[in-house]
Amino acid sequence: MNVVFLSPAYPPEMQQYTRGLAEVGAKVFGVGDSHPQSLPRELRAHMHDYLQVPRIMDENDVIERVGVWLRGRSVDRVLANWEPLQILAARMREKWGVPGMSVDTTLGFRDKQLMKERVKAAGLRVPHSFRVRSPDESWAAAEKIGYPLIWKPIDGAGSADTYRCDSPKDLERALKKSRHIREASVEEFIDGEEFTYDTVCVQGRPMFENVAQYLPRPLIARTEEWISPVIITVRDLYQPYLRDGIELGRGVLKALNMGSGFTHMEWYKTAKGEVVFGEIGCRPGGAHLVDQMNHTCDIDLFREWARASVWHSFEAPTVRKYNAAIVFKRALGEGRITRITGLEDYKRRFGRWIVEEHLLRPGTHRRDWKQTLLSDGHLIVRHPEWAEAHKMAFAAATDITMFAGG
């Protein structure tokens, strides 16, 4: 089974998916713009061959170069788990007659306005929205939708370049900050709790399902530096509170004609109990969400994604053992991390439940919290009881402090 995997080295978690492909018996032909000598030894060991291209985002150039490189060799799958490369992978599949999701189907997971139109056509609740390509169109859409509203890129990921606008002045500021965005969606703001619905699918059928809650909503976490964002996977998927959201997610998969692989969806539950679609990608969630899901069930979804994508099967147990919480920490101050307080006490209190601790150490330069949810490091804790996982997560958020300076 010959598999072309796009960008096996970046983002860093792609190296785990490369490993997964090799472990289920695929010959991995990696394509990326990283120099071969810069690739970790472990990653090179999981690839049958590797092609460096000048610009991985230059779709026409990449297709031409890979076609020449693979001439005389069969291709059974073309895969990508990094959102910007989804359309490129689909174009390659169509050009070479490789099984998998088409360009049109993949567009339904990339183009946020087309996505909502297709989901709405299936009778599912989506935010009211309009596609806009200019400030004038944004103002016209705002008149129809009213405030508050959300302005976000059509093909964005996460909450980057996404703004909540409560007034015309807010929209004016958002438009000034977003002049580099060519196409956007102006949509109704849904006031409610925000959850994920994540799956590994085999030919559209969810073989693994997950729900996680954002605390607080990502849009808030991205605008307030003092917040330590928390995401908690839910052990009990069958509780009545989540039932409608999971049914919504399954309906979205059918509406968008999902094939095999990961999906990551966001949805809202309002105070009145209404569930509303947010958006979805045919790729895994970022910010260590797959690690959280692995810790929830004690499985390896990097490998199971590969098995589902290559062999159309899923073998891991799906018994959910824990609620797994990740806490992203942000240091106080600028420059390099100088000290961390409260960490050792936290470890003494909750050590048996801590499964990962990767905070930046003193001497390391702070990350730009506006550019990455990963911030200045993270902890993952887990517990069979939701209340305990929640308590431990927010104890890490409030009792551990990182300082920076210089």
| CATH of region 2-100 | 3.40.50.20
Write out pLDDT tens, residues 254-268: 999 999 999 999 999
Q: Tell me which architecture the domain covering 128-188 has in CATH.
A: 2-Layer Sandwich (3.30)
- The answer to whether 133 and 182 have CB atoms below 8 angstroms apart is yes
Give 157's pLDDT tier (boundaries 50, 70, 90). Answer: low
E-strand ranges in 235-320 read 261-270, 275-281
Cα 113 from Cα 106, distance rounded (Å):
13
20 or 180, which is more confident? 20
The predicted structure's pLDDT at residue 312: 98
Task: Report the pLDDT averaged over residues 211-220.
Answer: 93
Q: Tokens in use for 242?
A: 């989540």
Residue 206, token pair as written in the block: 């969810």
CATH class of 322-406: alpha beta
Question: Cα dihedral sign for 25, 26, 32, 36?
Answer: positive
Q: Tell me the C-alpha distance between 106 and 89, whole Å.
A: 9
Report CA-CA distances (Å) from 188 to 19, 57, 224, 326, 344: 41, 31, 22, 29, 44
More confident residue, 222 or 184: 184
- Please report, as a single letter, which amino acid is at residue 187: E
Residues in the chain: 406
Peptide bond into 240 cis (omega under 30): no
**Could you tell me the fold of the domain covering 110-120+191-321?**
D-amino Acid Aminotransferase; Chain A, domain 1 (3.30.470)
Q: What is the pLDDT of residues 172-214, one digit of tens each?
A: 999 999 888 999 999 999 999 999 999 999 999 999 999 999 9
CA–CA gap between residue 23 and residue 122 (Å, rounded): 38
Answer yes or no: is pLDDT of 158 > 90.
no
Write the DSSP symbol of residue 109. H
Q: Where are the domains of the chain?
A: 2-100, 110-120+191-321, 128-188, 322-406
Interval 318-347: pLDDT, tens: 999 999 999 999 999 999 999 999 999 999
Indicate the SS3 state at residue 380: strand
Give whole-number Cα distances, 74 to 21, 71, 157, 308, in Å: 17, 8, 33, 20
> Which pLDDT score is estimated for 207?
98
Q: How many CB atoms lie within 10 A of CB 48?
A: 14
pLDDT (tens digit per residue) in 359-382 = 999 999 999 988 888 999 999 999
